[in-house]
Structure 1
């Protein structure tokens, strides 16, 4: 069942990182701090529908974004603010990224 609210080519991009739960305060602070430069950089990219970032005290970080196409979702793979600046800040705070990052075609929404 295809959704009528999103383009037929829309995708969900999920990026995850893990960390020792004792590092939660540092990783949460990193998430809040990197938002200062990530939000404007990501908002400039064409095709963005929405973006969510969260840090769990259980030791996991997730970035979930919705894009109008896989091509547009893949822009994050080369966005300097994401792949250099934010990654370095996350690793310094103790987070390790899970690879690969996967883009999922959207079948339906509520």
Structure 2
């Protein structure tokens, strides 16, 4: 455990369960899935693009707290509750991840708090 550090920032959605926003381990930062909720815990209204953007803004805040940045993300996983949202999510996603890290995108039956999108990532420290 001594080579792992919990990362927390008040500038992103607070954990909604028994997990941390991110863990720094060695040269990597593992960011927990971020849902479209602001730092006060309020779910973001609007389009799937707006909700994707909030997920990305949470990731940015967490990575900055860890001393990293979105440009150092090497892998993302996007969870969608409906693949019909894929194109709209992608249009907003690519504005944040222009360096095109490796990515998986999967459809799931349901996400926490009934949101349509969740994004997790791995970044270099």
Same fold by TM-score greater than 0.5: no
Query: TM-score scaled by structure 1?
Result: 0.35
The structure carrying a bigger helix percent of its residues is 1
Answer with 1 or 2: which has the greater Rg: 1
